[in-house]
Structure 1
Amino acid sequence: MRQRSPMLQFGRKIQEYGNGQTGMAKKSKQNLPPRRKRMKRSQRLESAKSWLETYEGNKVVKAYRKRYGVNFECAFTELEMLGVPIDPDYKERVLESVAAQEAAKRQKRARERARRADVWLEYADDETALERAGECVSCDMFRPLEDLGLCPGCAAMLERDLIRQRDWEYSGTAFLLSDEAREELRRKIVAEYGEGLELIDPV
């Protein structure tokens, strides 16, 4: 009996991509968050007075954020308004950490916009490629995608791996070749790119 092909590293991502292509799931009705997370500041301050009387933990800032759904800066401000003593050094460290995280997110978004802009420029004259552009399920690069959600580079690596593994029925290049031609193609792949797999995760 023929053994099954090795599992791909990105198998789950490909499955998710395929599911997304076949149709959108029915959107479930979203319930509103708890009322305390929809309060205005004046309402939170009034509510927090009774909450603080019963709070017994030692991480009041984090607990306040979680209970009322606010950010650190808002939590510090409102707790200070309520007379809760806040360690200045702790406050400074937390706010610096939050600022650094926000800066990292902005940089990531900027890089993503730049990557997308590169794709638009590279394929400006190819509307079909732009219509297929998306994030590769293997390398996460934003590029025109093949049927499995792979960019051209990753799709080529997958094809070479299939040929290395002699998974002829899954290979678009070798599917219709004779046995002799398939083996010759495999020898060329190994000679040029090596024996090791590039994308498939061996079992």
Structure 2
Amino acid sequence: MAKKKDSTPRRKKYNKAQRLRDAKAKWLPTVTAKNIVRSYSKWYGVDLLCAINELEILGYKSSDNYKKQVELSIASKADAKRRRKEAKEEQDGALYGSDDTFSFIAGYTEGGAPFGTTWEEE
């Protein structure tokens, strides 16, 4: 049986040492991007904070303000994800609850009538 070919570019699988070596030798001399950090991030498949740190190792200095802005952006995305997850769990909990007739509502019929375990069955 033939092995399935991986379509991910090799450069996106590099570890830190390999990325730094490749960037110094091949990528930095040829890059013409306006935002070098974002370009590095996309080319090597790393997040912006990692790209900033590795470019600093290579000698490219980015402003402290930009680094703080990226850190805040990452933190706000994580916070938004956490809030969405909590809201979804809360909504699911409200969907399947209890009322005067049922101790556990397992779901609703197409007509909207609840079904589940009644208080008397418990």
TM-score scaled to structure 1, two decimals?
A: 0.45
Verify: 1:74 aligned to 2:50, yes or no.
yes
Residue type of the alignment partner of 1:64 = Y
> What aligned pairs does 1:88-167 form with structure 2 within 5 A after superposition?
88-122=64-98, 125-127=104-106, 129=107, 146=110, 152=112
Percent identity between matched residues is 34
Number of the residue aligned with 1:42: 17
Gap regions ≥5 residues in structure 1: 1-28, 130-143, 147-151, 153-203
Q: Which has the higher contact order (CA 8 A, sep 6+)?
A: 1
How many equivalent pairs are there?
A: 104
Number of the residue aligned with 1:176: none
> Is residue 49–residue 70 contact of structure 2 (8 Å, CA) maintained in 1?
no
Residue type of the alignment partner of 1:80 = E
Number of the residue aligned with 2:36: 60
Number of the residue aligned with 1:139: none
Residue type of the alignment partner of 1:46 = R
Larger Rg: 1
Task: Tell me the CA shift for residue 145 of structure 1.
Answer: 7.8
Q: Which has the higher strand share?
A: 2
Go from structure 1 to structure 2 and tell me whether the alpha carbon gap of 1:120 and 1:32 turns closer, same or farther (over 3 Å shift).
farther
Q: Over aligned residue pairs, what C-alpha RMSD do you find?
A: 2.4
Task: Tell me the CA shift for residue 119 of structure 1.
Answer: 2.6
For 1:95 and 1:102, how far apart are their aligned partners in 2?
11
For 1:30 and 1:117, how far apart are their aligned partners in 2?
43
Secondary structure at the aligned position of 1:125 is classed as strand
For 2:9 and 2:103, how far apart are their aligned partners in 1?
47
Number of the residue aligned with 1:156: none
